[in-house]
Amino acid sequence: MCQLLGMNCNTPTDVRFSFSGFSQRAGNTGDHTDGWGIAFFEGKGLRQFVDREQASTSPIAQLIRNYAIKSENVIAHIRKATQGQVALENCHPFVRELWGFNWVFAHNGNLVDFAPKLHSHFYPVGTTDSELAFCWIMQELAKSHAGMPTLHELSITLQDLARRISPHGTFNFLLSNGQALWAHATTDLCFIERRHPFATAHLSDEDVSLDFSTCTTPDDRVAVIVTAPLTKNETWTPFEKGRIHLFEHGRLVALQ
């Protein structure tokens, strides 16, 4: 199946270090070679790059590894297809508009016999179970709230929706509207929060290290979410299964 990478920060941060290791799993250290994508929020604006080629050799992925785009919320995905052909329209992350915000979604898993009725203006362009699930979530959010609710209220709604989809199979996903980042796991997903005092991290998938103290301030906070740990010298925390996790300003927010 696919793999996910997310980053949530309290100040615009460069994701190149994490993406560099993550993209090696798409052809070098892993077989997630059926396309990839990444989306960066800049305020309410969004930069999105997707490619049907594998991320380890894609020229567009090389651009991302060299381009110091800074963002407070980033979602990336490398694909190993389970449903839907290898095609650009099936590459995650997917984007839709709701309440005047861009919403970005990426999914890792396989949903079986998931055929919800869509009757709003959210419809899939491609043929994946992932985009279908995203469209249904957007539809149900729009039905549940007349406008943008608080992040806590939104988290409660997302928890209910995830609980209704999860019986159909593996449902690990990342979702963001640029204000925060939500994560949900039924199998493998973990995270780390980096804050002062920053140390040196060593990637697991390539021989690259970075001393974060050289490119941060004492006030910086960065949360990184990924399917499998990106570094070999840091402690990554597994997600509690079946729960929505909300990240805001570079930290995990406790939900009641």
For residue range 234-249, list pLDDT tens digits in order. 999 999 999 999 999 9
**pLDDT score at 221:** 97
Q: Select from 204, 205, 222 the least CA-distant residue to 213.
A: 222
Q: Please report, rounded to a whole number, the percentage of residues in the chain having pLDDT higher than 70.
A: 100
The pLDDT of residue 25 is above 70? yes
pLDDT at residue 256 is higher than 70: no
pLDDT of residue 68: 86
Q: What pLDDT is attached to residue 197?
A: 92
pLDDT value at position 83? 84
- Report the Cα–Cα distance between both ends of the chain, in Å, rounded: 31
**pLDDT at residue 1 tops 80:** no
Whether 81 has a pLDDT exceeding 90, the answer reads no
Average pLDDT, the chain: 95
Q: What is the mean pLDDT of residues 190-217?
A: 93
Region 86-91: what's the mean pLDDT? 94
Helix (H, G, I), strand (E, B) or coil at 177: coil
pLDDT at residue 255, rounded to an integer: 79
Q: How far apart are CA 189 and CA 224, in angstroms?
A: 11
Classify the C-alpha dihedral 121-118-114-255 as positive or negative.
positive
Please report the pLDDT score of residue 239 as a whole number: 95
pLDDT at 84 over 90: no
Confirm if 170 and 186 have CB atoms less than 8 A apart: yes
CA–CA dist 167, 79 (Å, integer): 22
Please say if 2 is a catalytic residue: yes
One of 2, 9, 135, 190 is an active-site residue; which one? 2
Contact between 134 and 113 (Cβ < 8 Å): no
pLDDT of 130 > 90? The answer is yes
pLDDT at 82: 85
Is the pLDDT at 112 greater than 70? The verdict is yes
CA separation for the pair 19, 75 (Å, rounded)? 10
